[in-house]
Amino acid sequence: MTDTADVTTRSTRRGELVFRVVHPDDPAAAPLLADLEREYDARYGDQLDGGAAAELARYPAEDFVAPRGVFLLLHEDDRLVAGGAFMPHDDETVELKRIWTAPGARGRGLAGRVVAELEEEARRRGSRRVVLTTGPRQPEAVALYRRAGYTPLYDVSRPAEEVGVHAFEKTLAPRPADGDRGTRPGHPAGATRAAEGGRASRPVAPTIDAAARAALDRPVLPLRHPVRWIAAAVVLVLLLNGVETLFTNPAWGWPAVGKWLFSPAILTGLQLTLVATGLSAVISFAGGVLVALARLSRNPVLSGLAWGYVWLFRSVPLILVLVFLYNLGSLYPTIGIGVPFGPQVTVPTADVLGDLAIGVLALSLSEVAYASEIVRAGVLAVDHGQLEAARALGLPPRRQFVRVVLPQALRSIVPAFVNQVVGLLKASSLLFYVSLLDLFGVVQNLSSTYPTDIIPLLVVATLWYLALTSAVSVVQYHVERWTNRGSARSLPPTPWQRVRGAVRRRTGGAGRLPSSARGARVLTADARSAR
């Protein structure tokens, strides 16, 4: 095989397979490179600086041109179905690159034929060894190379993401004498190499029988799961029936829902809900960190008081805390600070604790108890060796916690605390019972004024709570990705990256062979051996 558009042909039940060697910049190779770029972006877009295009352009085209390398395309009836290449690694070793199969031609063993063809070409050029690397998110590639006899250069018992780059090697068997060559590895029995310049063709000795060849040509069918599909169909029918009732039952009052959804009264209550929830979330997290540190302290007074605080506010219902604080002015008409049993500065309680302050204070006091336990659990989950390492570096205690312990604890803290924030968002509806017109309170007042719109108003409140909870979940997802940066070699793709990759895989496909390349010359085995 040379780099002058040489061809090896063989026939299968599906059509004629033709190997062609081209330059990497040849238009015939463009579909292969474009689909590889889409595939790499979909699987490794969050890891590659500059995207897959920069990675594919990392090696010069000259590395894949004879005598240094080769760029090989496999066509079936003039349709590009697979391809691959190799480049020099050292004097006796080549490195496989660009192994690819068209999305519509996978599962037929074409990639294995490309690898076998590349190995034969490397052996013909005097190489004794082949190496290659693949990524942790390509299990099908790992399976291909292991089936082809490549030896993994990594610990196969470790998870793929921990391994990172999967490296393989294979020692090539000595090339047989020209007279005893027979069929090259991966070539089906009965294949012929046509003559160049009109010479007669001669058959190549078969290496596999007809039954094995038929098994190789037979497509791989996925395992069927009829029970799973039946269950999915039943659930889908029930879901569609439920959705149908939402639009066919006039009692839902969808026109009234549209009227109230963005009404000024509803938006005013929504604003109060957001303010109360946001302030309470910030205060509860800061207070939870302080109470957790006190609970972990060796000082018995601090740890005892912190334990008592958590015990008290986890035991008392939130509605009771709200009502108690709302009536605090009756118990303490004035509040102040000063010397015990001495002079004090006092102010009327009603002037300090307004309705919003009472609501935020009650929510925060209750949530601090739960947040402190979440923070304490996250801190205890950090490996003790991390703290010992920080101490060995001479870091002061405050810096040990802020720079070493807390960032690692956040991986455990964030999911649980965001669940608390979602609960806090829903618990803010209790503010209605202390005369605060939050979202739920406004809906309750409007329901008493417009009794015919009770159901639509409840639907409006439900829609807004769903929207707020969904927004918190999106923030949680991205915060978790940010805190997990140091815990994994590579982060999984985001939902948007998955959708974009799926679209690219759907729209990408194998290209047709350009008409200018369809009349490529054909070589015989004798001509190849003469070269």
The identity of residue 499, as a single letter, is V
Walking along the chain (531 residues) 10 residues at a time, the average pLDDT comes out as: 46 68 90 88 75 81 89 89 92 92 88 92 91 90 91 89 89 67 43 36 42 58 84 94 88 90 93 93 93 91 94 92 86 78 77 84 93 91 84 85 85 88 90 85 90 92 93 87 68 76 68 39 35 37
Q: Are 183 and 515 in contact (CB under 8 A)?
A: no
Non-local CB neighbours of 131 within 8 Å, separated by 6+ positions = 89, 93, 94, 95, 96, 167, 168, 169, 170
Q: What does pTM read for this prediction?
A: 0.52
Residue of 206, 29, 185 lying closest to 109 (CA atoms): 185
Alpha-carbon distance of 343 to 336, in angstroms, equals: 10
Of 440, 290, 294, 446, the residue nearest 359 (C-alpha):
440
Neighbours of 109 (CB within 10 A): 20
CA atoms within 13 A on the CB side of 59: 19
What does the alpha-carbon distance between residue 53 and residue 35 come to, in Å, rounded to a whole number?
A: 11
Residue 53 confidence (pLDDT): 79
| pLDDT the model gives residue 514 | 41
Question: What is the residue whose two structure tokens read 């395992």?
Answer: 223
Closest CA to 91 of 133, 64, 127: 127
Token pair for residue 381? 């989950």
CA–CA separation, 373 and 309 (whole Å): 11
59 DSSP 8-state letter: S
The answer to whether the CB of 53 falls within 8 A of the CB of 37 is yes
One-letter amino acid for residue 474 of the chain: V
pLDDT of residue 177: 56
Q: Report the 10 Å Cβ neighbour count for 359.
A: 27
Neighbours of 62 (CB within 10 A): 11
DSSP state of 480: H
Planar angle of CA 153, 156, 158, nearest 5 degrees: 120
pLDDT at residue number 414: 87
Report the pLDDT value the prediction gives residue 5, as an integer from 0 to 100: 46
How many Å apart are CA 336 and CA 345, to the nearest integer?
5
Is the bond preceding residue 67 a cis peptide, omega within 30 degrees? yes
| DSSP-derived secondary structure for 362-381 | HHHHHHHHHHHHHHHHHHHH
